[in-house]
Amino acid sequence: MVRKLKFHEQKLLKKVDFISWKVDNNLSEVKVMKKYYIQKREDYTKYNKLSREVRELANKIKDLDANSDFRTESSAQLLEKLYQIGLIPTRWDLVLATNVSASSFCRRRLPVVMVRNKMSENLKEATKLIEQGHIRVGPQVVKDPAFLVSRSLEDFVTWVDGSAIKKHVMEYNEMRDDFDLL
């Protein structure tokens, strides 16, 4: 059993950051991970790798002949896919595809969508609710906070039917049915 830390020891530990190391030179990575409350470093590296590949693909498409049918078709397919995922705001400009970053993927994570939809106050609380199994996307319960929500699934993020939080929200809004009280 570990003893409880004294006040001055807790204060010192708050000043120490165990995530960032000066040797790694990963300050931007740590900043994004803290901002979007990403718990696994592998998730961030995966988003970074995907965004790099999207940017490379967009640059390769840009280098093609402007009048070729292949360029227009492939750029339309890429922009449509990125728009459906929710990484770009419109599907009309290839420059938007070159601006895709790891933060774009982080903005599509389930806790961020929950905070944006006002289902939770902050990312930490949203992550806790997801891990406890209170959230479902469509018909399936999601317990992974790294779940990426596409534009089409964004409207289907709701509470699980038997969730106590859903009951409290419905009681607060005076929408709870008498049948549910049984």
3-class SS at 154?
helix
Eight-state DSSP code of residue 109: B
Strand partners, 136: 141, 158
Considering 79, 105, 131, which residue would you say is the last residue of a domain? 105
Contacts of 130 (CB under 8 A, 6+ apart): 110, 111, 114, 142, 143, 144, 145, 147
Q: Strand, coil or helix: what is 136?
A: strand
Which has the closest alpha carbon to 123: 109, 135, 134, 136? 109
pLDDT at 36: 95
Answer for the pair 90, 129: CB distance below 8 angstroms, yes or no: no
Q: How many CB atoms neighbour CB 102 within 10 A?
A: 23
Number of domains the chain is built from: 2
Please, which residues have CB within 8 angstroms of residue 84's CB and are 6 or more apart in sequence? 150, 151, 152
* pLDDT value at residue 79: 95
1 belongs to a structural domain? no
Mean pLDDT of 64-87: 94
Per-residue pLDDT tens over the stretch 143-179: 999 999 999 999 999 999 888 888 888 888 887 766 6
Residues 101 and 114 in one domain: no
Expressed as residue numbers, the domain containing 64 is: 29-105
Q: Residue 6 has what pLDDT?
A: 86
- Of 64, 90, 105, the one marking the end of a domain is 105
Select from 47, 80, 105 the last residue of a domain. Answer: 105
How distant, in Å, are the alpha carbons of 13, 14, 173 from that of 8?
9, 10, 45
Are 54 and 116 members of one domain?
no
Q: For position 8, what pLDDT does the model report?
A: 85
Residues 95 and 128 in one domain: no
Residue 164 lies in a domain: yes
Which phi and psi angles does 117 have, rounded to 5°?
-85, 5
Q: What is the pTM of this model?
A: 0.78
